[in-house]
Amino acid sequence: MNKIKNIKTELAKTTTTLVAVTKTRSIPTIMKLYDAGHRIFGENRVQELVTKFEEMPKDIEWHLIGHLQKNKVKYIASFVKLIHSVDSIELAEMINKQAAKHERVIDTLLQLKVAAEDSKFGLKNEELNEMVVQVKSLDHIRVRGIMGMATFTTDQDQVKQEFQQLKSHFDSIKENHFKDKDDFSELSMGMSGDYKLAVKEGSTMVRIGSLLFS
Ligand SMILES: *Cc1c(COP(=O)(O)O)cnc(C)c1O
């Protein structure tokens, strides 16, 4: 458990939150992080998220960080704390509908595609503004910020540029749509391999998995 303690000590000098990514890890393994005092966990699959939510202590904040299919929103709408991966208006509308059923307002991030790889999900730059306008009209969703993933590459300049792009989109959305809203405050970027760079470039939330368990 020294890994998580070291990372948390490092992040404590900043205002960045650690989301411990626990996908594919067993409950006893995750409980070690819990017993070390950690409470914010992220999963990328709905079924795994639901199982872990049901079997683990109820003071955990569960984040959904991976691609979310509309027909699965209903399984997590009662408890999910933050959905990092909203990438279409149809998905946002479904989250809104399911949140309303549970009389909740669900916190979300809009996922933006900046990586060069085709495989990464997310909104394109030119879709972002319209998306924000549409989502702002939904009463049971609160947009808390932006999420993105850099290209998986050893080219640090490229990764840095992509983080800078995310930060500049965050700033312009904040300026144009949420100027007086303190709620719009999160920039989720950075994983095991690139979180230090992400923090330097303005990340408020890093999603770290493999490094915690190595
Ligand atoms: C798995 C995953 C992470 C964590 O990746 P690591 O390299 O294990 O730190 C972060 N974000 C998303 C969306 C993921 O699926």
At 86, the pLDDT band (50, 70, 90 cuts) reads very high
17 Cα–ligand 1 center, Å: 15
Q: How far is CA 166 from CA 53, 146, 161, 201, in A?
A: 30, 8, 9, 9
Atom of ligand 1 nearest to the CA of 84: 13
Model pLDDT, residue 52 = 98
Residue environment code for 102-136, b if the CB has 16+ CB neighbours within 10 A, otherwise e: eeeebbbbbbbbbbeeeebebbeeebbeebbeebe
104-161 pLDDT, tens digit each: 999 999 999 998 887 778 999 889 999 999 999 999 999 999 999 999 999 999 999 9
- Nearest in space to 181 (alpha carbons), one of 145, 139, 206: 145
Q: Are 146 and 169 within 8 A, CB to CB?
A: yes
Ligand 1: atom nearest CA of 212 is 9
**Helices marked H in 26-72:** 27-35, 46-55
Any idea where the domains of the chain sit in the sequence?
2-213
CA of 22 from ligand 1 middle (Å) equals 9
Assign domain 2-213 to its CATH superfamily: Alanine racemase (3.20.20.10)
**pLDDT above 90 for 193:** yes
Percent of the chain with pLDDT over 70: 99
Q: What is the pLDDT at residue 2?
A: 84
Ligand 1 center from residue 115 Cα (angstroms): 14
pTM value is 0.97
Q: What would the pLDDT profile of 13-40 be if each residue is shown by its tens digit?
A: 999 999 999 999 999 999 999 999 999 9
Residue 206 Cα to ligand 1 middle (Å)? 9
Name the band, by pLDDT with cuts 50, 70 and 90, for residue 199.
very high
CB-based contacts of 143, cutoff 8 Å, min separation 6: 108, 109, 110, 132, 135, 136, 178, 183, 184
